[in-house]
Every structure is written in C-alpha cells, then in structure tokens.
Chain A
Amino acid sequence: MTMTATNVSRRTRLARAAWAAVTFASLAACSAMPQRNAALDQARERFQSAQSQNQIATLAADELKRAGEALRAAEQANNNGDTLATVDHLAYLASQSVALAEETATSRAAQAVTAGASAERDRMRLALRTQETEAVQRQLAITQASNARTEQQLNQQLSTAQRNEARTSAELAETEAAAQVDRARLAQRNAQVDDLQSQLNQLNARVTERGVVVTLGDVLFDSGRAGLKDGSNGTLAKLADFLKRNPQRNAAIEGYTDSVGTSSSNLDLAERRASNVKGALQQMGVPADRLSTMAIGEEHPVADNSTAAGRQMNRRVEVIFSPSAGDLLMK
C-alpha cells in the first residue's frame, strides 16, 4: 500500500494515541493520587489508638514500632497508587501488627501482676514468720526474765542460809568458847580442890563439922612440958605453909590434955602448948591476927583416959582452920 500523506498521518496518529494511552495507563497505575482505602484507615486508627495507651507504649514499645513501620509501608503503597490488593494486604499486615503489640502488652501486664502478687506473698510469708519469731522471742524473753527472778530469789535464799549458817557457827563458837572458859574454870577449881585435898592429905587433916582439923599429937611435946620438940618443925612448917597458901583461912589452936593432974594445971599446960604452937607458926611467917589460941584441957577427950594409949591420944593440940567453900568437897 502506498503511503499517502493522509494515510500516514492517520495511522501515525492512531499509533501515537495508543502509545500515549498505554503510557498514561502505565503512569496512572504507578503514580496516582492517594485514594481513600478503608482497610488503611482502620489500620491507621487502630495504630493511633494503641500509641495513645500508656500500657502498650511502655510494655510493647518494640512491637508498636514495628506496627508503625508496617503502617508507613501501607501508607506509602497507597500514596504511590499501588493496586488495591497491595494496599489492602499491607494495611492488613499493619493492623495485625498493632493487634500483636496490644496483645503483647496485655500479656506482659498480667505477668507483672503475677510477679507482684508472688513478691507480695513472699513478703507476707516473711512477715508471718517474723511475727511468729517475734512471738517466740517475746515468750523466750518472758521465760528468761522469770528464770532470772527465780535465780535471784534462790541466790537470796542461799545468802540468807549462808548468813544463818555463819551466825549459827558464830553462836556455836561462842558457846564453845564459853564452855571452854567454864571447863577451864572447872579445871582450875578441880586443880584447886585437888591441891587443897593434897594439902590436907599432907597435913593429915580431917574435915569435921567444926572445920578442917589437924591434930598435933603428943609426940611433938615432951611429957608434961609445953616446949615443942625439934622434930615438930616439919609438921608445923606444913601448917604454916598451908596457912600462907590459903590466906582466907584462919587457924584456931586448941590445947587438950589427958585427965592426969588437976584440971587447972591441965588448963595451964594446954594454954602454954597452944601458945607455943602459935608462936612457932608466927615465926614461920603466919601473921598473928590469923591465929587464935584456946585452952580446953581435959574436956572433950577423944579417947578413954583409963588406958595409956587413950591418954596419949587425948594429949593433943588441934589446929582448926576456918572453913572455906572447897571444904565441902573434901574427904
């Protein structure tokens, strides 16, 4: 076919128009003005709502960020004029991402509650145990205080008992000391008595109702004479000694005779003999005021004057010592 001017221009115009339409369609498909998309709007609303909730923003921050990125991808696709299927798909992903963030936050919040409640239970169990421990400790303190009081009481009782014991011991010691003094005194008295007894024994003294009597026999005198014989010193010395050792005693010297001769001459003889004894004793150191004499003569014989032996026994001087308390114990 021959190309005429009009034929060429018509085909060319048609071709150009076709190209233009395709190009426009292509361009239209890739870059149209952003259309309203319901799914996208929903996704956007959901995201903004989740963003405003503090719990989600705090507990699922990463998940929310990813949801935001998914939403931006969807918005981008919509702005680019992508197909409806594309935008819907991306909007769905964005929406589910927000849902995932919401659910994550809910789960974590619940876990926090469980952890908190668990911690509180631990705290309370500890408080209970602390209470119980304190109760036991209080009881223990009470028991200890009671024990301390009891111990104190026992200590007081012990010290009181110890004081009593000490006092009793002291009293006992006193009593013992007193007893010892008494024993000493008694021993002393016994000694004195023994001493006296021995003295009296040495003197051949007799204890009578008149007192202690020492009889100086006839052998000290020559017959009918008043002078003391030499051998009499021993006996008289004993008498003097006794008197000196017993200064509370006095001596009464009584002269006796037998019945031979007259009573007056016998009295005279008795008097002289008694005096001689007194004088001898005085010479031996016995003070005179402790010695007294008496002439009895024939009176009060001690034996039968009808026999020689009896007469000899009657011829005597008796020295009577004044009594003293110890005499009652004498044999």
Chain B
Amino acid sequence: MNNLSIDRPTAIRYLVLLGALTLGACASTPPPVEKMAVAEAAVQRASTASTSESAPAELGVAVAKMASARSALAAGDPLRAGRLADEATLDARFADMRAQSVRSISAARESEEAARVLREELSRKTLR
C-alpha cells in the first residue's frame, strides 16, 4: 500500500478510534486523587451535629454528591469522579455557611429581643 490508500474496514476502525479519542480530546484526565481528598475533608468538616440540625438538606446534597464521586471513580470514570468531587466540596462549604447563617439569624433575633427588653426598662426608669 502506498499513497495513503487504505481499505474500507481499516478506515472505519481508524474512525472509531479517533472518535473515541475526540470525545476525550479537549481535557486530559489524571486520576483525581487531590480533588477526592479535598472533597472528603470538606464533607467531613460540614458533617457536624449543628449543621445536620440547621441545614440538613444542603448537607444531604453534599454527602450524596460525594458518594456519586466515589461511585464514578470505582466505575473507571476519573473525569466524572473529579467533577463530582469538586461539586461536593462546594456543596459542603455551602451547607456549612447555610447552617452558620441560620444560627446567626437566631442569635440576632435573641439579641434584638434582649435589647428591646432593656430599652423598655430604661424608659420606665427615666419616666420615674
């Protein structure tokens, strides 16, 4: 064979191989070791009793996402595993912050109430 002439079956096999390569062409996928570790740590940090109490839904999302990431890695899809891990990290931080804001709002209400009570006492004493 010369002058780039290939037979049909070979050409088709080549096409399939290139197609396969093309699907993964725009991003290289190393094993997502670091991403998984970061995600695991973030989800662990978020999994406190108070966060479970104040932001259960958001924490659930992060935990489920982490599980999905592990499954994807086990299934031999490092790219997908890495992405799910990144998302789980962000979900965990979000759950953390949500729980924090719930607690802060509660504390704010209490302190405003306390201030109101004190204000009333002060105005009573001033009137005397």
Contacts and interface: CB of A to CB of B under 8 A. Distances in A.
Interface of A: 3, 8, 11-12, 14-15, 18, 21-22, 25-26, 29-30, 80, 82-83, 85-86, 89, 92-93, 96-97, 99-100, 103-104, 106-108, 110-111, 113-114, 117-118, 120-121, 124-125, 127-128, 131
B26 A29 contact: yes
A110 B105 contact: yes
B101 A106 contact: yes
Q: How large is the interface on B (under 10, 10 to 19, 20 to 34, 35 or more residues)?
A: 35 or more
Contact of A22 (B15, B111, B115): B15
Interface in B24-57: 25-27
A160 to B, nearest CB: 43
B96 to A, nearest CB: 9
19 contacts: A12-B3, A18-B14, A21-B15, A85-B83, A86-B26, A93-B87, A100-B90, A100-B94, A100-B97, A103-B100, A104-B101, A107-B97, A107-B100, A108-B104, A111-B108, A113-B108, A113-B111, A121-B114, A121-B118
Contact of A114 (B14, B91, B104, B121): B104
Given A107-B97, A117-B112, A131 B87 contact: no
Contact of A110 (B4, B94, B101, B119): B101
A283 B97 CA distance: 153
Given A14-B8, A15-B6, A22 B18 contact: yes
Q: Which of A12, A21, A83, A117 has the most CB of B within 10 A?
A: A117
A128 B118 CA distance: 9
A12 B104 contact: no
Interface of B: 3-8, 11-12, 14-15, 18-19, 22-23, 25-27, 80, 83, 86-87, 90-91, 93-94, 97-98, 100-101, 104-105, 107-108, 111-112, 114-115, 118-119, 121-122, 125-126
Contacts of A110: 101, 104-105, 107-108
B114 to A, nearest CB: 6
Contacts of A29: 22-23, 25-26
Contacts of B27: 86
Q: Which of A18, A108, A113, A114 has the most CB of B within 10 A?
A: A114
Given A29-B22, A100-B90, A89 B83 contact: yes
B115 A117 contact: yes
Contacts of B4: 12, 15
A117 B114 contact: yes
A103 B98 CA distance: 6
Given A107-B101, A131-B125, A96 B107 contact: no
Contacts of B104: 106-108, 110-111, 114
Given A100-B90, A107-B97, A110-B101, 6 more contacts: A3-B5, A15-B11, A96-B91, A103-B97, A111-B108, A131-B122
Nearest to B82: A89
Contacts of A99: 94
Contacts of B8: 14
B91 A128 contact: no
A100 B122 CA distance: 40
B22 A25 contact: yes
A25 B20 CA distance: 11
B89 to A, nearest CB: 9
A11 B94 CA distance: 59
Contacts of A111: 104, 107-108
Contact of A80 (B14, B26, B108, B112): B26
Contacts of A113: 108, 111-112
A157 B123 CA distance: 47
B5 A117 contact: no
Contacts of B87: 89, 92-93, 96
Q: Which of B6, B14, B25, B26 has the most CB of A within 10 A?
A: B26
A103 B102 CA distance: 9
Nearest to A82: B26
